[in-house]
Structure 1
């Protein structure tokens, strides 16, 4: 549930970051999920680009967690490409031991949102993670790996797979929420690339917004 709408973003595509976010401004929005109120600041501008906004796929994932009443208490969780950090923040408030990751330029925005929403004694770790490069610095035994709208650049798909393979143990569950952008080959990633390495199950489909959520597990599960 969103308390204050952020307009004009649901149809925006990360094709031309410079023109898409040429104006620099800050917007604060309030969202409610699982009985928690999240206050999220978004710093729009070319510096953050696609990391700036709360994308619909992140809200869809939060809604799914609320609907399913998923138990994250005491679970070890990592979020990839977190942007604003809204998903990882929610999971942290639900009791998860969370690590929130993105490229270095996005970390100040995430850290600010974490500090506003999560008590310091349970705040998630905020870390830089470049797919295909930094994953070796992270453990391999996460209970959950989360990603909201991180499948949109074809040149990153192999790097993302490498990262997922490293982070996932035999009992890890991955949740990926994605806008199904044909021009970015998103469906190809889920239909042809990821199934070479993992089991996939479509667990939620938003037809109106063309959003899918996939539950992904290792073959040995």
Structure 2
């Protein structure tokens, strides 16, 4: 279901596939765990987390939700759907409508536009608690500042560890936990004004497919 108005959200990106394969390789289960996925896009990661037993909230901008819901109907058995919900989330705007007790936060290829980085940090800081595990799968691109974002910015707020790399695709998987900070310390008040936009990512999309 490729919609012209969905942009990058209409594709299954390599980062999503890489994160799913990592979960499979490590034998990770989300049974009984509360999970939220940011920038779900086609929903491949959130759908797999549901199939692996998680109580999953899949999020994206409002215009993307219909695509996610369609892919959920196709890929998630009726017996599992009570553990999955799809909700609109715009980073830095309505993130405070969500709770702060998630066991896992998942994101694949959501670090691609430097203008969104401050809002992404603000959202991650709100959603995560000291017991939350965050998995980010990112294709590092110098032109949008994603390497420095992962290596310099995120470590100011999170303990960051590289758990896997796909060298041929420049994809790196990070496992993160929140650093204990005082309320209000997570995001500098002027952080939103420090970054500028960057050109098109230029990545080649993979074809839309089932997460199995």
Distance of 1:166 and 1:122 partners within structure 2: 28
CA displacement at 1:121 relative to structure 2: 4.0
Partner of 2:41: 83
The two structures have a TM-score, normalised by structure 1, of 0.79
Structure 1 position 122, deviation (Å)? 2.4
Q: Larger % of helix: which?
A: 2
Which residue does the alignment assign to 1:168? 128
Q: Where does residue 113 of structure 2 map in the other structure? A: 153
Is 1:108 the counterpart of 2:75? The answer is no
Whether contact under 8 Å (1:44, 1:53) holds in the other structure is: no
SS of aligned partner of 1:111: helix
Give the match for residue 197 of structure 1: 157
- Selected match of 2:92 from 132, 136, 139: 132
Equivalent residue, structure 2, for 1:179: 139
In the alignment, which residue of structure 1 is the partner of 2:101?
141
Shift in Å, 1:91:
0.6
Q: What is the aligned partner in structure 2 of residue 50 from structure 1?
A: 8
- Aligned twin of 1:5: none
- Counterpart position of 1:65: 23
Which is bigger in relative contact order (C-alpha 8 A, separation at least 6)? 2
Displacement over 3 Å in runs of 4+? none
Which secondary structure does the structure 2 equivalent of 1:74 belong to? Answer: coil
Instruction: Tell me how far apart the structure 2 counterparts of residues 69 and 108 of structure 1 sit (CA, whole Å).
Output: 30
- With normalisation by structure 2, the TM-score equals 0.82
Aligned counterparts of 1:137 and 1:213: Cα–Cα separation in 2: 28
Shift of 1:44: 4.5
CA positional deviation for 1:173: 0.3
Please give the per-residue CA displacement for 1:62-114, whole angstroms capped at 9, x wherever unaligned. Answer: 00000000121010000000100000000101100000000011100000000
1:216 maps to which of 176, 180, 186: 176
Q: Secondary structure at the match of 1:122?
A: helix
Specify every segment of 5 or more residues in structure 1 that has no aligned partner in the other structure, as ranges. 1-41
Partner of 1:27: none
